[in-house]
Structure 1
């Protein structure tokens, strides 16, 4: 697994100067009196290998807000910041059958006022949403999963203990470039959940496998 970031910037600027109101000098009669200078450059192919990397949009964390509670569960929702996977490798440098995946895993929610009060990661679900256009269909958002307290959508009721957010097909050379995804988060707890401010850590990992 490589989680790296490389940025290369090439910039050039041309400054034009103009002077007005000056007399124009006479030109030499002999057009051959000047001399030209040949300017050449040889640019070698880049030798910097491409790479695959993941970044998460700047954020202050996600604060889940109650919305959609009913007689069977209390529900708290939010949106995952945009996650970007960038693959700058050349197709010929990617082994056949290699693929990558971004996997999310939540820790348990722990109450700020009492560490004994917890809500397990199995109560947190998500619905990934692909934000970029996949030209070949070789990159797709992960499948939605629900809290163990079902949300009625038919999504697997397994929680967010280790689930795919974004994944390439069995051959990631089919679509290199940039892919973006986010997800709707939904924490569904029992109706008698203890009141309090809870905190959890959602870890996103990029895996490159063959």
Structure 2
């Protein structure tokens, strides 16, 4: 896999334009030969920028998880991921056959502010991706839900947020073109005896392109 983060730009050729009659001295034309002037013309094509595949995340101040849905099996803390937008403005003929892309999420471990020795691993954080809008032709879908290693009872794989897909396209380049928006319900399910404290983690979202 390779991360497709680079914005690709075209170098535009600039045409020099000479304008006749701009104060430049020259020989006078004979009055009896009005057809001796030379018409100079130029056709300037518009500057075009190639399409690109890009990802943006809505402005946010981070996500604060709050306790919601705790039970005898686990303490649960929930929140909502900011909206993530993937735009594909490439021409279908510029996309290699069989290429597809995916947005993948990876959580670091939660570390307590008052004691770095107190941690909660990424395997305790799950999510349920939700496709908000899609202007492609149905070739983009939200990733599958994953649960904390402490089951949430939904039957989702109990693997935690360790390299899980948030949004993925199919390998049909002509159908990928468009803009798709997605977010996700986050749920941190910890053991009931988790140490009290304020914990912080980093959730990294990466856009991968693969053939």
Q: Is the 8 A contact 2:136 2:180 kept in 1?
A: no
Distance 1:52-1:202 versus aligned 2 partners, 3 A rule:
same
Correspondence for 2:22: none
SS in 1 for 2:147: coil
SS in 2 for 1:97: coil
Correspondence for 1:204: 205
Correspondence for 2:102: 101
Measured after TM superposition, the shift of residue 42 of structure 1 is 5.0
The alignment of Structure 1 onto Structure 2 pairs a total of residues equal to: 178
Q: Is the 8 A contact 2:147 2:157 kept in 1?
A: yes
Correspondence for 1:149: 150
Correspondence for 2:175: 174
Distance 1:69-1:157 versus aligned 2 partners, 3 A rule:
same
CA distance in 2, matches of 1:184, 1:101: 18
CA distance in 1, matches of 2:42, 2:123: 60
Q: Deviations over 1:134-159 (max 9, x none)?
A: 55220000000000000000000000
Measured after TM superposition, the shift of residue 93 of structure 1 is 0.6
RMSD: 1.9
Distance 1:43-1:66 versus aligned 2 partners, 3 A rule:
farther
Correspondence for 2:186: 185
TM-score, length basis structure 2: 0.79
Q: 4+ residue runs of structure 1 moved beyond 6 angstroms?
A: none
Gaps of 5+ in 2: 9-40
Correspondence for 1:89: 90
Distance 1:72-1:135 versus aligned 2 partners, 3 A rule:
same
User: What are the equivalent positions in structure 2 for 1:62-81 lying under 5 Å apart?
Assistant: 62-81=63-82
Distance 1:42-1:129 versus aligned 2 partners, 3 A rule:
farther
TM-score, length basis structure 1: 0.80
Q: Is the 8 A contact 1:139 1:168 kept in 2?
A: yes
